[in-house]
Amino acid sequence: MAAGGMMARVVVIGGGPAGLMAAETLASAGLEVTVAEKMPTMGRKLLMAGKSGLNLTKVEPQVEFDAAYGAMPPALRTALGAFGPDEVQRWARGLGQEVFTGSSGRVFPTVMKASPLLRAWLAKLEERGVSLRTRWRFAGWDGAAVLFDTPQGRQAMTPDATVLAMGGASWSRLGSDGAWAALLPEAVAPFQPANMGFEIDWSAHMRPHFGAAIKPVALIAGARRVRGEFVISARGLEGGGIYTVSAELRGGAGLALDLAPDLEGEAVERRLARPRGKASLSNHLRKTLGFDPARLALLQEFARPLPAAPGPLATLIKALPVPLGPPRPIDEAISTAGGLRFDALDGLMLRERPGVFAAGEMLDWEAPTGGYLLTACLATGHLAGREAAAWAVRRP
């Protein structure tokens, strides 16, 4: 209840994971909640992410989990501390969605898809009285009033608190176009693509290998080395391993590949030094190191002519330089860096707009795929909901 005995009202702008989690948290606190989404349906990006298996979170040692977020702002650390991987799993089970943890520590719903979870989530919100409004496009403020352009014309609401959860600037066809940044220009860091592929101008001999997955491999970007995998595409390189080091690559670090990550350099050299008789160098690499055609093609693409001596060849195999072109366009990126700066916030409340809170990808944080993105969206939505509820109920 707000001061005066009236039920406090909160509007959540954005119907993605962060916004829906904020709405659930607010409704659990007994507030009257409206979710306004500009697209025809809720959770469109969540559904797209779940097409290949909805990776909810990641189970691993805390220090490794935290490291995925880089220099973590205090508010993000607070959010993840209160709603981390354990809480995400309990929440999913509370929606009737059993989960399992794969060998890599990634957590998925047993059914893998996002649609059953989203349906159960929306039903739960409606049962708790949350009003879900679609095709409501945020149009800014008029004093204390929050404005929306809707199929019924311009609508104004004067809530006790507002939660912004409008996403970043990638996947505009699903609603995340970053247009909201024009309404808060002084508080926004420029958007940049994150978790994106990089272009390479391939020679013709690479065409048969488009679509091939390279695994296992270690990727070296500046001082960072990660084990992962990637896909050779017609336009360049993409996939989880590339996404993990995309921030370093975007910042200008060079990329090198360790094509034999399970062997030390000396072991690679010893294998290469075995007599090969009349076998071609390619067949020698296949027999001694188990290289498949795509891995061989990468080596030949970036190191022609290949040195015959075992030592120099082993050095290339353990650190093959890859000259990258530019990153793929921001609208093709899985997520974005940039957005609302944390120094423009008090907790998750905008300093210049008391009673307005923010959550999700519209905040200026960055993390790789693998469960980290969704966990932080849910966690910041949960924290924004808590902070907005506390503000609304004590508002005079």
- What does the pLDDT look like over 58-88, one tens digit per residue? 999 999 999 999 889 999 999 999 999 999 9
Residues of the chain with CATH 3.50.50.60: 9-193+332-394
Low-confidence stretches of the chain (pLDDT < 50) are: 3
The DSSP line for 37-60 is ESSSSS-HHHHHHGGG----EE-S
Measured CA to CA in angstroms, residue 87 lies from 56, 90, 91, 271, 382 at distances of 11, 5, 6, 48, 11
Return the pLDDT at 312. 95
Helix, strand or coil, per DSSP, at residue 266: helix
Dihedrals phi, psi of 251, to nearest 5 degrees: -80, 0
Alpha-helical runs (H) found in 55-114 = 62-67, 74-82, 85-94
Return the pLDDT at 343. 97
Specify burial of residue 159 (Cβ count, 10 A radius: 0-12, 13-18, 19+).
Answer: buried
pTM: 0.91
CA 264 – CA 256 distance, rounded (Å):
16
CATH for 9-193+332-394 (3.10.450.100, 3.30.590.10, 3.50.50.60, 3.30.70.1350): 3.50.50.60
